[in-house]
Structure 1
Amino acid sequence: MMKARSHILHKLLDGCVQRLDTTVLDKMLPTKHEYVLYIQLTPLQIDLYRYYIKYSVNATKCAITNIMSPNSSEFFHDFRSLLRICAHPWVVINKSDKTTPDSEESEDEESFCEKSAGKGKDFGLVNLISDNSSEESASESVMETDTPTKTHINDDWWKVPFSQRIEEFDSIQCSGKLVLLFSILEDACNDKLLVFSQSLESLNMIEHFLAVIDGMNWKPGVDYFRLDGNTNIEKRKLYCERFNDTKNSQARLFLISTMAGGLGINLTGANRTQCVFRAYRLGQEKPCFIYRLIALGSIEEQVYKRQVTKLSISKRVIDEHQIDRHYKQHELSEYYSIDRISPQDKRPEVIIPEDPILATQLQNNGHLIYSYHTHDSLLENKVDEGLTQHEIDSAWNQYQIDMTKNEQKDRILKYRPFFEKAELVNLLTLKAKQDHPHQESVLEYIPALLRELHEQRANDDMRMLNELYDIYVSHGKKVEGSFDSHA
């Protein structure tokens, strides 16, 4: 049924939608490989994540109702807090001070989140570093510490239960994402990288570790650039030109705020990124590798599932592709689930990817990467599963039947106030007179017609109602009081 309805909707929109996507440029561009990597959270991240979920009021509501809380502002507060944990614990304790110059964009991002919540929008992109297992006994010991009351959880919720582990918060090893990012930077020495984030806090975190890690010696404005809401137009242009300069091999990293640089910039100098269309466009000369690093079992994974589901619907309707359904409906609403953040089952068998850098990461940092797949594999068009001509004809026939029924219902509902004003018995009397024109009295036919009318309504049959409507229209106000004259 879904395929039939998608086909009908596609044909109805065919004359209204002009669809040209990036596939028209495939022959003019180098190859593109888009990978989705599920990164296991570190023990500290798991403890932080579980603690926050357990003592978040919104999470408690969702655990009971299995749906998102109606209070969307609370949800986005939880959303940002959980993404900070997924990025790195450093972000949790170094949440941007509102008095810093960066605060303007931070506030803009928060207001954007809350406004989007009111409009029912979703964040379709899971960033490489978003603002975003331990032993069982360690997790239990954390849960047994003093906890905040179950009101709206405060920003300093981590201080009491994790006060003995503060030193861990400043270690690069506390985030598999960050370890993988710096490892790719080290191995892809001949390539340039783009890192996008919806959060300035995450960009601050990356800059922090670029400065403190021994042997890296990354200099801002020379080895890497940063573009956010505080970057003026002149610097934006200058940074992009320097970064795209093929002779400038020293500048290998560009940190970009999604809100400030998600649109309108051309960065074909990079070929390893997570925001595909800033680099994979006309002017690109190298094969492109896109990495989506998603914290396993976290809220990031739920956001990604929703993104894939929406893209699948779009491709089914607009492009008439046959896309497999990968996620069940209940899985898309489990934002606060913690069942998979520390999986106990055997790790899936890994196939060697075409990207040599990713293959190296799987070999050297395989303990951080639980699994991976290509993003396009979830949106593959199964041509053989399309509708046959017989199924297409049946779909159109059913569509015509449904449309006729809907038109009849709309017709009756539209004139329902007029039917209520006229006496039903008067209309049935006029119908009986039409059916039996030679009878002097038609009262004996009224009960049978009334039973027939009720049976038809029970079976969603609109024939008699249509007849009564025609009688009503043809007689107009004369219907009222017509009982005596026709009886």
Structure 2
Amino acid sequence: MEAIPPKQEYVINVRLTPRQCQLYRAFLEGVASDGGRLSKRLLPDYHVLARVWTHPYLLMLHEQKQERERLLRDEALEDEDFIDDGDGTTSESEEDEEEELVKKPSKNKSQRKAKDDESDSDVILLSSDDEGRSAGDEKIAPRKSRRLEGEEPELEGRDVETPPEYTGWFTQSNLVSSADRDDFTLSNKLVLLIQILKKCEEIGDKLLVFSQSLESLNLIKRTLEYLDETKQWFADGHEAVKASGEKWGWKEGRDYMVIDGSVQSGKRDTVQVKFNNPSNLRA
């Protein structure tokens, strides 16, 4: 078995674009200027700045995603409250009928002096929810929704890394807009990655891209697909090592493949075998 050649590592420092520098400075001087809170919000600050240095539009994408999740959580809470309200309401006729069934006949005794002398065994409420409730409480109060009560719902969201006061700071300063969605020159990291990919196509190499961020992976996918759909990828005239008559592009599963947490182990093996096939130059 041949020895594995020594690994060579190159660390490239990529300069921020002017827009990224403005965003970086605006965040540090504005939203995160309270020094007393910075130590408690190291991770949220890191995630915000990571979006800045990856591509500014990620800030807007993340905020839109959080808003969608908030709406879904609110709808789920409303549905839950609606169901609970329906379950907790019992008609008077049903209550009377139930109480009649469980009511025991009183023995013929002398008239009681006061209602307080009545025995608790006269009426037995058979319900698992009656613990700690007095025998005279015959009706179950309907549960009101938190929104109707004016209370804030307790959100157990998956994505709570961005504090509320961080919302909208980049749009208020007019540093990010929807027009930036397909402007990939706002990120020098993306520009460099595109150059490396094109060089790999020219020499017949394959490339593995690792990232700890799903947002970054989705951004790379969208960048490649956009440049392919708009016929910009080969507009610079670079040549790719491909078979005669073969047309390359950026189609997932053919020109590139993705392995993330949602990919099952069986499919991972298929992707790895396909990628490592030396006769498959396309992916």
**TM-score interval (norm. to shorter):** 0.5 to 0.7
* SS of equivalent to 2:172: coil
Indicate how the Cα distance of structure 1 residues 180 and 163 shifts in structure 2: closer, same or farther if over 3 A, else same. Answer: closer
Indicate how the Cα distance of structure 1 residues 164 and 222 shifts in structure 2: closer, same or farther if over 3 A, else same. Answer: closer
* SS of equivalent to 1:203: helix
User: Partners in 2 of 1:32 and 1:172 — Cα distance?
Assistant: 31
Verify: 1:248 aligned to 2:280, yes or no: yes
Aligned to 1:270: none
CA displacement at 1:223 relative to structure 2: 0.5
The residue type equivalent to 1:61 in the other structure is G
CA displacement at 1:221 relative to structure 2: 0.7
Aligned to 1:47: 22
Q: How does 1:152-191 map to 2 (within 5 A)?
A: 153-162=165-174, 166-189=178-201, 190-191=204-205
The residue type equivalent to 2:35 in the other structure is K
Aligned to 1:481: none
User: Partners in 1 of 2:254 and 2:181 — Cα distance?
Assistant: 28
TM-score by length of 1: 0.33
Aligned to 1:35: 10
Aligned to 2:265: 233
CA displacement at 1:152 relative to structure 2: 5.8
CA displacement at 1:70 relative to structure 2: 3.7
Indicate how the Cα distance of structure 1 residues 177 and 70 shifts in structure 2: closer, same or farther if over 3 A, else same. Answer: closer
Q: How does 1:361-372 map to 2 (within 5 A)?
A: none
Q: Is contact 2:14–2:189 with CA below 8 Å preserved after alignment?
A: yes
The residue type equivalent to 1:202 in the other structure is S
Aligned to 1:97: 65
Of 188, 209, 222 in structure 1, the residue corresponding to residue 254 of structure 2 is 222
User: Partners in 1 of 2:207 and 2:278 — Cα distance?
Assistant: 13
TM-score by length of 2: 0.55
Indicate how the Cα distance of structure 1 residues 93 and 164 shifts in structure 2: closer, same or farther if over 3 A, else same. Answer: closer
The residue type equivalent to 1:185 in the other structure is L
The residue type equivalent to 1:157 in the other structure is W
CA displacement at 1:75 relative to structure 2: 1.2
CA displacement at 1:30 relative to structure 2: 2.1
CA displacement at 1:164 relative to structure 2: 7.5
Aligned to 1:86: 53
Q: Is contact 2:250–2:256 with CA below 8 Å preserved after alignment?
A: yes
The residue type equivalent to 2:250 in the other structure is W
Q: Is contact 1:40–1:176 with CA below 8 Å preserved after alignment?
A: yes
User: Partners in 1 of 2:22 and 2:42 — Cα distance?
Assistant: 20
The residue type equivalent to 1:170 in the other structure is D
Q: Is contact 1:88–1:174 with CA below 8 Å preserved after alignment?
A: yes
Aligned to 1:200: 214
Q: How does 1:335-414 map to 2 (within 5 A)?
A: none
The residue type equivalent to 2:57 in the other structure is W
CA displacement at 1:165 relative to structure 2: 5.2
Q: Is contact 2:60–2:176 with CA below 8 Å preserved after alignment?
A: no
Q: Is contact 1:49–1:85 with CA below 8 Å preserved after alignment?
A: yes
Aligned residues: 174
- CA offset digits 1:361-390 (Å, max 9, x no partner): xxxxxxxxxxxxxxxxxxxxxxxxxxxxxx
CA displacement at 1:55 relative to structure 2: 1.4
User: Partners in 1 of 2:166 and 2:6 — Cα distance?
Assistant: 47
The residue type equivalent to 2:65 in the other structure is D
- CA offset digits 1:152-194 (Å, max 9, x no partner): 6323321121267542453111111000000000012211111
Indicate how the Cα distance of structure 1 residues 69 and 53 shifts in structure 2: closer, same or farther if over 3 A, else same. Answer: closer
Q: Is contact 2:254–2:282 with CA below 8 Å preserved after alignment?
A: yes
User: Partners in 2 of 1:155 and 1:161 — Cα distance?
Assistant: 12
Q: Is contact 1:56–1:152 with CA below 8 Å preserved after alignment?
A: no
- Which sections of structure 1, spanning at least 5 residues, go unmatched? 1-24, 63-67, 101-106, 115-150, 252-487
The residue type equivalent to 2:192 in the other structure is L
The residue type equivalent to 2:28 in the other structure is I
Indicate how the Cα distance of structure 1 residues 55 and 161 shifts in structure 2: closer, same or farther if over 3 A, else same. Answer: same
Indicate how the Cα distance of structure 1 residues 69 and 51 shifts in structure 2: closer, same or farther if over 3 A, else same. Answer: closer
- Give % identity: 32
Q: How does 1:65-80 map to 2 (within 5 A)?
A: 69-71=38-40, 74-80=41-47
CA displacement at 1:250 relative to structure 2: 0.4
CA displacement at 1:86 relative to structure 2: 0.6
* SS of equivalent to 2:280: coil
User: Partners in 2 of 1:163 and 1:47 — Cα distance?
Assistant: 8
User: Partners in 2 of 1:87 and 1:176 — Cα distance?
Assistant: 8
CA displacement at 1:229 relative to structure 2: 1.4
